Structure 1
């Protein structure tokens, strides 16, 4: 019976294959954890800006109310100011009031459609 002979060419390369496999798996895990960390950073950045987001929402709502009041009651009513650093930009074309509130890096848009009353001609 003839003894099995191992190919010495493959015997010398087995360590290299294991090292290459470990490096590929390690690189894959590293890249996946880097992407996951970046996504978590974006979520944390968004969550930490909730205060400015709320300020921007209230500023946009103030812009809507101010334009509505000017349209219906007093065109010379002064523009409101905020002590918290928020501000708004608003416009009124007679049918749609648009207001953009901003505070810090947060911008929030609100709009309101005005339905102008018409006279009824019921018989």
Structure 2
């Protein structure tokens, strides 16, 4: 029995530093939680890939939408630049704008026009939407 006691003490001393230095699972050195993938992250889940391909719109841009301008809204400042403001409103068969207002064509490929207060960008009238 006396011979076993020193052997047990030596083994306890050898194991104690390893348990004292061990980090709790899921935490880093400074106590921050680990938010990465689990230990078996190297395994690839092929079901996930199939779901992604079913959700893809294949270039149809289904998430895109046409801007619906409304009276009382403000247009972005970029549309108040000279390339969007229509100077020859008669060529487009538009009524003459009041003083301080102008016709804006936000999309060059569409026949949609906005009468905008040029100082503030406030929309007074919407045509073609």
TM-score by length of structure 1 reads 0.26
Structure number with the higher helix fraction is 1
Larger radius of gyration: 2
Structure number with the higher strand fraction is 1
* Higher RCO by CA contacts (8 Å cutoff, separation 6 or greater): 1
